[in-house]
Amino acid sequence: MKFKTFIAFVGPSLFMMMLFIAFPLVSVFTQSFYNVQPEFEQVEVETCTPGFPTQTCVTEVKSRPVMDENGNIKTTTHFVGLQAYRDVLEFDRVGAAIRNGSWSQLMTIDFWKALRFTLTFTLFTLPLVIGVGLAIALAVNNAARSLRGPVIFISLLPFIITPVIGSLSIYWLFVGDGILTAALERWLDKDIAMFAQAWTIELLMLFYRVWHVAPFAFVIFYAGLQTVNQDTLESAIIDGANRLERLRYVIVPHLMPLIIFIAIIHLMDSYRVFEEVVGFRSQSHVISLQWLTYDFLVPDDSGNRAISRASASAMLTMIGIVILLILPLRRTWRDHKGSH
């Protein structure tokens, strides 16, 4: 392929990646080193109370933001270096918690509380998504042809639902007098509050993520099963291999590139968990790194947003994703080199 032809095909994609991925990433990285603060001025404000025959007036000095000619608040930008990362990580409080040997004290720090849940959520759901997706794919592949279409359609329904809507649906089933909560209370003859403690909320989040994402793994695995070498399977059957042995020594090695692919996609997606925190309204018990970044961007009572800390939190989230992807990417690179 000629170079001009290659550029004509690849150029638009590279331009869009630079515009929507590279430039915003550089901008976020840069903003994490600068602190933007609004400018305030001291003004005297006279407050008078209605009275007869005379009024009572009080003069107070108050702070108010300085406006420009367009009515926008003026801001000043200062280079703060790594201060935003220190504010997010709070190493002083971390050191005190470690010296005291207090896990609960460490979990009062927002970043480490969010990191604990994010890692737990990501690493627990990964094997479950792969296992459930593979189990459904094997079941559909061995089912009668007349049943495959309806089963595939039903299996894909959770993946079609918008994540926020799906999480809200699970929330409504269990919150207060939800259908499933009412059924459990009648069966167990006791009051149940699924959203009164963190561990039950996390269980529901794990369940929802597996329910929502497993159909994606199922579709990938089902497509991969259609390419399994039937001669190899028949040879294994002749040699006396049972179903478990055929799965372990024939099917799983054949699907390993797809397993790595699903693991990479799931790690990137789950580490950015956000919809579940919003849908389950778990902010008082459980937060994620992505939600923490969003919380920094929410204006406070005076209208200020912690942009530098939000940028630092976003960069730390990306670093965590890169670390998690090292092992599957190394496996992919090793397999790629071995095939040449």
Give me the phi and psi of 109, to 5 degrees please.
Answer: -90, 125
Question: What does the pLDDT average to over 229-233?
Answer: 85
Residue position matching structure tokens 């005379």: 54
Q: Tell me, what's the pLDDT at 302?
A: 65
Of 65-74, 177-186, 223-232, 318-327, the range with the lowest mean pLDDT is 65-74
Average pLDDT of the segment spanning 57-62:
77
Of 1.10.3720.10, 3.30.420.40, 2.30.42.10, 1.10.10.410, the CATH number of 103-338 is 1.10.3720.10
The pLDDT score that the predictor gives to residue 152 is: 82
pLDDT tens per residue across span 191-215: 888 888 888 899 999 999 999 999 9
Number of C-beta neighbours around residue 165 at 10 A: 10
Q: Does pLDDT of 64 surpass 90?
A: no
The model's pTM: 0.82
Classify the C-alpha dihedral 299-301-303-306 as positive or negative.
negative
- Please state the rounded mean pLDDT for residues 49-71: 74
Q: Tell me: cis bond preceding 257? Omega within 30 of 0 counts.
A: no
pLDDT exceeds cutoff 80 at 322: yes
pLDDT digits (tens, 9 = 90+) for 104-133: 888 889 999 999 999 999 999 999 999 999
Element (H, E) at 12: helix 3-17
Mean pLDDT throughout 145-171? Answer: 82
In the chain, domain spans: 39-76, 103-338
DSSP H stretches of helix in 226-288: 230-238, 243-246, 252-270, 275-279
Q: State the chain's mean pLDDT as an integer.
A: 85
pLDDT digits (tens, 9 = 90+) for 241-298: 888 888 888 889 889 989 999 999 999 999 989 988 988 888 888 999 999 999 998 8
Residue 158's pLDDT is what?
82
Examine the pLDDT at 134 and tell me if it is beyond 90.
Answer: yes
Tell me the pLDDT tens digit for each residue of 171-188. 888 887 788 888 888 888
Looking at residue 340, what is its pLDDT?
58
Average pLDDT of 309-314? 91
How many percent of the chain have pLDDT more than 70? 96
